[in-house]
Structure 1
Amino acid sequence: MLTGTRADYGLLRGLLRAIDADPALDLQIIATGTHLNDSFGRTASEIESDGFTVAASVPIWTEDDTRLGVAGDVGWALPLYAQALDDLDPDILVVLGDRLEAFIAATAATILSVPVAHIHGGEITEGAMDDALRHSITKMSYLHFASTEEHRRRVIQLGEEPGRVHFHGAPVVDALDALELLPRDAVAQQFGIRLSDPYALVTFHPAVMDVAAPAVLLDRLLAALLDVDGLHIVITGSNSDIGTADVRQRIADFVASHPDRVDFVESFGQLGYLSAMSSAAVVAGNSSSTVLEAPVLGIPSVLVGDRQKGRPLGSSVRSPMPTRSGIADALREAISGANPGPDAAIFGTPGFAARTTMTLRDTAIPRPPRKKFYDIEEESGE
């Protein structure tokens, strides 16, 4: 199992526990990405504090977050993942999502003839490079665990045989079902922040293919947040992506300039983050949490830019024109509007971890993982 960020680990935790508890399966965890970076909170400690053993640690990112620098890191990381996989010799590598860590690891696995299982394939995020990475991972994967029926159909459309493509729901539904969220006061005390009512929980990541440059979108979002009278702002740290350094510096300057209205937390961890979200007036930014966790919790959200464009949007998600005034109006509407309540049905029911563990255990997975390209015409009879 590969985990590269605090976000994917929070989603994978239930599956890790289910695999670890199954006597027929042997769990090996590869920790990589920002888990091993002090600047992002070195969140590998969270894996170990949960009682898991990290079988391999693969540090892959340098401090150069330019396009050329990241491209160089990708080339440097490939043999490191290959060596880890060769040492561990897994029967299958499980990866989640669309980040470069998953793409590079899946590439290394493909070269080594290690089968890959992919979670969250078939999705669309038009404003991010991740869109191409996700579909590439799909084509390198033998098993697929899609979060909706629509996403399952897309994976099949990419030529994957239906019998290898499973709709087991989204792991976030499991995570929310299993967690006992902390009261607001406990979150505030634990992280030393103010959660005065109303407050916005904000996460923004740079996306190189968005409708505007990351710095432009971020500046408009931050200005719009200030335009909402009485709104307290809680900002979390950004992912390690192309352009992250500039985004993080702008956030740091904003926090320092508005100490009366803004708090910053580098990494809440899953429990802290979802607990903070559960009492927020609005979730804002361009993180996947605006379209996944927030709707499932029934918290209104404002999605900025095209980073998540193409994902299914619940009724509680607003996607305004990415202008200062448009974002500010959407924030006000979200805060003052009627709460539509939880909107989890689209992402399936709890039980993702159990269903996925059973599939991993009971599926005969060939090595090398030869696949037949599936033509949709075969299904329709055309």
Structure 2
Amino acid sequence: MRTIAVLTGTRADYGLLRRLLHEIQAEPQLDLRLIVTGTHLSEAFGRTVSEIELDGFDVAASVPIWSGDDSRLDTAADVGAAIPGYARALADIDPDVLIVLGDRLEAFAAATAATILSVPVAHIHGGELTEGAMDDALRHSITKMSYLHFTSTADHRRRVIQLGEEPDRVFFHGAPIVDAVAALDLLSRDEVESRFGVRMPSPTALVTFHPAIMDAAPPEELVDEMLAGLAAVDGLHVIVTGSNSDIGTADVRARIAAFVAADPSRVDFVESFGQLGYLSAMRAASVVVGNSSSTILEAPVLGVPSVLVGDRQHGRPLSPTVSTPRPTRDAIEDAVRAALAGTRGVGESAIFGSPGFAERVVRTLLEHDIPRPPRKSFHDLERRVTR
């Protein structure tokens, strides 16, 4: 029996982890312990821990991290203050491994606590690049604190090895979103409208924007340009979802709220669709717009054209269905119009592997040696002779 702790901090990472959680829970030789943190515990962000409980998962530990202030100083202080909470949760659970996904501060802080406690970390989505956000540095830091690596593409596996991780601990298991799309029975357009109280005439844009402090422009400027570009497309209905609890979120949310209030006849707002609702709304949408990873992962997998705004995802592999306009209202307007005029795709997922991510991860957790402490050797690439 191995005890597997899994960290989830946002509606987005929970949607990607959900199938894996079910597979771990169903495996008799694995004991799932779920650590819930981040916006899941926030009323302002929909308190989505309730969705986790409705899915039948027991919460082993709840660790608050965000104070509600989103300045850089307050965010740094929140992360430091949360590390003892993660440490206490891990000490109580005493897992054989902690699974974290992605590049957010919650994952970084939890991996830091695990490293100090000699708890092996397994990292999903390592080796990727998001050069327009500090997430890029956080992700690579988590990679170096991790013992096992579950990457979404072969190139990402190569990059993790380039960071000095031994190849036999780095697995190309594909992207969990492929599992999620394959497993879900998505809602119809009418069901999305009825369940969430939104309108989805044709054409409709599904919009998600998160502030990124290293982007092409300040987040408040970028969101203004994006919203102005959307407003300029005649006849376009817009559905906006809530932003993450990142630095600068308050300003972005205020601008989105003003945009929704200014034209309620053509703009809807949904704080959190949940995975089923979000993917269902995406499939029914005409175009996906914003800087969320869903513009380059979920949208291509579903064959929906997307417009990526700004540099937040710069460095990630892009499907031909993703356009990357200059971050100005006119360029964004043109890109949205072009996406609406184009032919809808059939789904681009080959780069992210085949369905079965969760099963492959569970097999690795069962079969691979996971020592404690997780001592590692640095894997040097072939040295080149220089003169």
TM-score in terms of structure 1 length: 0.99
1:199 to 204, 222, 225: 204
Is 1:316 the counterpart of 2:321? The answer is yes
Partners in 1 of 2:302 and 2:198 — Cα distance?
22
Correspondence for 2:373: 368
Correspondence for 2:272: 267
Query: Unaligned regions of 5+ residues in structure 1, if any?
Result: none
1:243 to 243, 248, 254: 248
Correspondence for 1:97: 102
Q: CA, structure 1 residues 202+192, in 2 after alignment: closer, same or farther (shift >3 Å)? A: same
1:315 touches 1:340 (CA, 8 Å); kept in 2? no
Query: Unaligned regions of 5+ residues in structure 2, if any?
Result: 1-5
Correspondence for 2:31: 26
Q: CA, structure 1 residues 76+303, in 2 after alignment: closer, same or farther (shift >3 Å)? A: same
Q: What does the per-residue CA deviation read over 1:81-111, in whole Å, with 9 as the maximum and x for residues that have no partner? A: 0011001100000000000000000000000
Q: CA RMSD in A?
A: 1.1
Is 1:232 the counterpart of 2:237? The answer is yes
One-letter identity of the residue aligned with 2:302: L
Is 1:118 the counterpart of 2:126? The answer is no
Q: Superposed, which structure 2 residues align to 1:38-77 within 5 Å?
A: 38-77=43-82
Correspondence for 2:330: 325
2:147 to 142, 146, 152: 142
Q: Per the alignment, in what secondary structure is the counterpart of residue 150 of structure 2?
A: strand
- Aligned residue pairs, count: 381
Q: Which runs of 4+ in 1 moved over 6 A?
A: none
Correspondence for 2:112: 107
Partners in 1 of 2:67 and 2:210 — Cα distance?
18
1:232 touches 1:261 (CA, 8 Å); kept in 2? yes
- Once the 2 structures are TM-superposed, how far is the Cα of residue 5 of structure 1 from its aligned partner? 0.2
Q: What does the per-residue CA deviation read over 1:235-273, in whole Å, with 9 as the maximum and x for residues that have no partner? A: 000000000011111111110111111000000000000
- Once the 2 structures are TM-superposed, how far is the Cα of residue 361 of structure 1 from its aligned partner? 1.1
Q: What does the per-residue CA deviation read over 1:267-312, in whole Å, with 9 as the maximum and x for residues that have no partner? A: 0000000000001110000000000000000000000000000000
Q: Per the alignment, in what secondary structure is the counterpart of residue 26 of structure 1?
A: strand
Partners in 2 of 1:183 and 1:338 — Cα distance?
21
2:14 to 9, 12, 18: 9
Partners in 2 of 1:285 and 1:381 — Cα distance?
45
Q: Per the alignment, in what secondary structure is the counterpart of residue 261 of structure 2?
A: helix
1:204 touches 1:218 (CA, 8 Å); kept in 2? yes
TM-score in terms of structure 2 length: 0.97
Q: What does the per-residue CA deviation read over 1:123-154, in whole Å, with 9 as the maximum and x for residues that have no partner? A: 00010010000000000000000000000000
Q: Per the alignment, in what secondary structure is the counterpart of residue 356 of structure 1?
A: helix
- Once the 2 structures are TM-superposed, how far is the Cα of residue 49 of structure 1 from its aligned partner? 0.4
- Once the 2 structures are TM-superposed, how far is the Cα of residue 173 of structure 1 from its aligned partner? 0.1
- Once the 2 structures are TM-superposed, how far is the Cα of residue 341 of structure 1 from its aligned partner? 2.1
1:166 to 163, 171, 179: 171
Partners in 1 of 2:296 and 2:83 — Cα distance?
31
- Once the 2 structures are TM-superposed, how far is the Cα of residue 364 of structure 1 from its aligned partner? 1.1
1:82 touches 1:112 (CA, 8 Å); kept in 2? yes
- Once the 2 structures are TM-superposed, how far is the Cα of residue 334 of structure 1 from its aligned partner? 0.4
1:210 to 205, 208, 215: 215
